[in-house]
Structure 1
């Protein structure tokens, strides 16, 4: 199965759906979907509601492997079921979509212009369960807010240190050092980030493969060298707070870069929509993001 997933991720046409909001971002995701905080009183109820939302997205006809290569899941989503199958199995077997697991525990405090990841003290156990649940890979996010050379190096060093452990567990890490789209020196941060990532890629062995999830760069095709690197399966882009139209327009200008959108995927979905309305809104989102990922200007 892993070889089949690898082939799809490397050669397939489409994008990755990010369905991995967790903890503090879950109320925002639910609110955007039309579920206010007064509609649940416990964390358990909140996660039940967000699983209902994700199930509705994943089971919709528009959520199809013709357009979607993979999906990133929150840990609770991985451990829950859709139509009597664990979510990863449902994605792989019923939808032909490659499952990934978000493994980080959120962001540490700002230091040197960046937010590294909090310690992942249960990483080994999490990776073991990810294998049991049929995950192909993992995702972990840091944030860069300033063009601070030391801070960016620390972020990338941490990402690759944990990434090597993920590789050793037989999984593919999606390394995500997000550059904040509102940063005043975003372009400079991206130049530094590219060089730091390349240093680590060049040190990987032939059998050590990674994916990268990066903010859409200010300078078009900045990451082409990373996209073409032999140790990189795929480079995907986060929407980072851009609207879907903005994110799609910027994405189209970068050859080989595909989407891994979260908010931009679900921005027009609402709990009160009929099934026909919901499916139409999701279909429009999926097809527009697919087109931006696949149909480039060159």
Structure 2
């Protein structure tokens, strides 16, 4: 049996669909009943409602070891998709608890229960830092702890260290590092925030690059890697390296709304994230723009996917083939 953590999230829910389409027996870890309805909507989106009832649901939490141990019973393979995504510095403690400690718990259970293989969903945020004059990041690019990193990036890197620890103790592992993932079913979360911003009339853009990929491509790579003999490797998953402006313009055109027309240059972004900090303090709300996200918004780095494309002989979808479907739902 296969266990999927984070089963009620974007990657986890679409992974459930694909695994059940391949007649796998799947156990899904969930924390609250209200999240299950979102998974059901994802199955309906893929016209696979009949498969939804085949899921074995296990209520638990990766930070709660007793519930996690119960979920691991009779499991042979694990897809670890559970994580907290936040770029708000006030969430540092929760990021560490879920992303690092939670992953350590999953790894320990994999070892204790004799799991055959673990697939860990990381992020391009956990990849290394290009050296001066370098513009491309690969799986071999070294992480520089002296560089400025968001708490999210640090905790995803820390989670990978826990997976590698498990590998040193004999656990077969594979890690995937996806870019910004677009998929159906989770409004106002993750990449959908970008769509919502454009839909509401976003005026500003930056001249940075962004690595994007469809959730279907992410889960397809995960399943192929788990079924292969690959062990102790990680793979960058980015379908396209495009400019942020190109992405925003494409979304605006599909939604028939005005395209962003004002370039937010570095000095403007420096002022913006400071204002956001001040407003968040006064209004007691979550940060919408931080120093790290401001800097990332005009980064020109790109991500090399030669390793995954050559080993799996895979061709990633372009935004025209999957974003149009997602944006149609927004209309």
TM-score for both structures, normalised by structure 1 = 0.35
Bigger radius of gyration? 2
